Structure 1
Amino acid sequence: MLVSCLSLLLGACAGAGKTTSGPPPAAAIKAVDSYMIGVDDIVQVTVWRNPDLGITVPVRPDGMISVPLVGDVAAAGKPPAEVAQDIQEKLAAYVRDPQVAVILTDLRSHEYLSRVRVTGAVRQPVSIPYRPGMTVLDAVLAAGGVTEFAAPDRSELHRKLEDSASAYSVRLDRILGKGDLSTNYPVSPGDVITIPERVL
């Protein structure tokens, strides 16, 4: 699954045209309200004045959660406000004027989606959790650095933005050898850094 997703992303990047030498645009940080619930996320459902109907449950692999009185409700792929509205409408048959809130208490699915991947001529190709402030150098060092067969001057940062993907030139040779941090770009969730092997 991971390999196929990575192949699709790199394929999209390859079809995006030539590599850009300038810095990549900063990825927009999604507001919590626009976060789509995923499988394994933990959600808390509360019903005002009806504490017995409140639950805290993980989203099942089928994308559903089980809610007292109304049964299964689809949660995966929806924002919390929409799930709350669905539950509220179903509860109206049992509770007068229900007021429902859905709160994400543990974003487990986000851990998979928000990763940075380093592939190619590195000691250990890795997929690491994204952290604010992480840079290309941080990710490459987490992969153990480049191998003796690497062509660090041809490294690229691949980023998907909306419906398009772009590749940005990273002079990893200058970053590692000269301390030139001009292309040590901040990374974003979903970025893929590739370090090719040199041509012998």
Structure 2
Amino acid sequence: MKTLRSQSMIALAAVSLSGVAVRTAPCGAQSVNSVTAAAASTSAHPSTQAKPFTIGIDDVLNINIWHEAELSRNVSVRPDGKISLPLIGELQASGKTPMELQEDIRTSISRYLTAPQVTVIVTEIHSLHVNVLGQVTRPGSYALSSSMGVLDALSLAGGLREFAKKNGIYVLRSNNDGVKSHIPYRYSEILRSKTMAKDLMLEPGDTVVIP
């Protein structure tokens, strides 16, 4: 079985966004300082550049509009992937980079303010995890590492229990609108393939269910 890589998706975010500091918050969430929309880094080798960090459900954002204290605030991304702000109303946040969300806010609020200066900072990351439920030794929530597949998650959870229905395993995945899809997982077929290339790669917020 492929060994889990030591770097997490948070580390990838730190590579792709300059000036990012990651630490463990007291509540168990991971905190990111200075994940500003203007901080996207460049690489001399584009083919090896890490995927930019994207905002996810339950992440906490600091929205700052310069000289507009009443409009600036901390917001959590709702289960439907949206946030609510004064004057603007609802905006899609999940699936966007801080830079993209910053530009959306700036464009929307320009109807009310002249040349607004907006920054978006991700202060807490709650979306970079996966859940493993059902017939495993240690069901629970686990940090999502880069290139982490279902077999990796099952290994973290201590493996399948004796009466687990191996070919009944499935993954629940939410899209950016919060709608969940049901993805069947053919456990025996993956094991017979003798290659991790065919394993189903997990995404933030996925839930692996073992009946």
TM-score (structure 2 length as normaliser) = 0.49
Give SS of 2:170's match: strand
Q: Determine the structure 2 residue equivalent to 1:142.
A: 156
User: Do structure 1's residue 169 and structure 2's residue 185 form an aligned pair?
Assistant: yes
- Following superposition, the deviation at residue 180 of structure 1 comes to 5.3
Alpha-carbon distance in structure 1 between the residues aligned to 2:174 and 2:63: 28
Superposition map of 1:56-71 within 5 A: 57-59=73-75
Structure whose alpha-carbon radius of gyration is higher: 1
Alpha-carbon distance in structure 2 between the residues aligned to 1:140 and 1:107: 30
Change beyond 3 A, Cα 1:105–1:161: closer
Q: Determine the structure 2 residue equivalent to 1:125.
A: 139
Q: Determine the structure 1 residue equivalent to 2:107.
A: 85
* Same amino acid, percent of matched pairs: 19
- 8 A Cα contact 1:153 1:174, kept in partner: no
User: Do structure 1's residue 41 and structure 2's residue 61 form an aligned pair?
Assistant: yes
- 8 A Cα contact 1:38 1:76, kept in partner: no
Q: Determine the structure 1 residue equivalent to 2:115.
A: 99
Alpha-carbon distance in structure 1 between the residues aligned to 2:158 and 2:57: 33
- 8 A Cα contact 2:57 2:77, kept in partner: no
Count of aligned positions? 146
Higher helix share: 1
Alpha-carbon distance in structure 2 between the residues aligned to 1:184 and 1:61: 30
Which piece of structure 1 moves more, 163-172 or 140-149?
163-172
Q: CA RMSD in A?
A: 4.2
For structure 2, the 5+ residue unaligned runs are 1-50, 93-100
Offset from partner CA, 1:4-40 (integer Å, 9 cap, x none): xxxxxxxxxxxxxxxxxxxxxxxxx8995xx689773
Which letter maps to 1:170?
Answer: R
User: Do structure 1's residue 157 and structure 2's residue 171 form an aligned pair?
Assistant: yes
Alpha-carbon distance in structure 2 between the residues aligned to 1:88 and 1:182: 47
- Following superposition, the deviation at residue 136 of structure 1 comes to 0.9
Change beyond 3 A, Cα 1:133–1:87: same
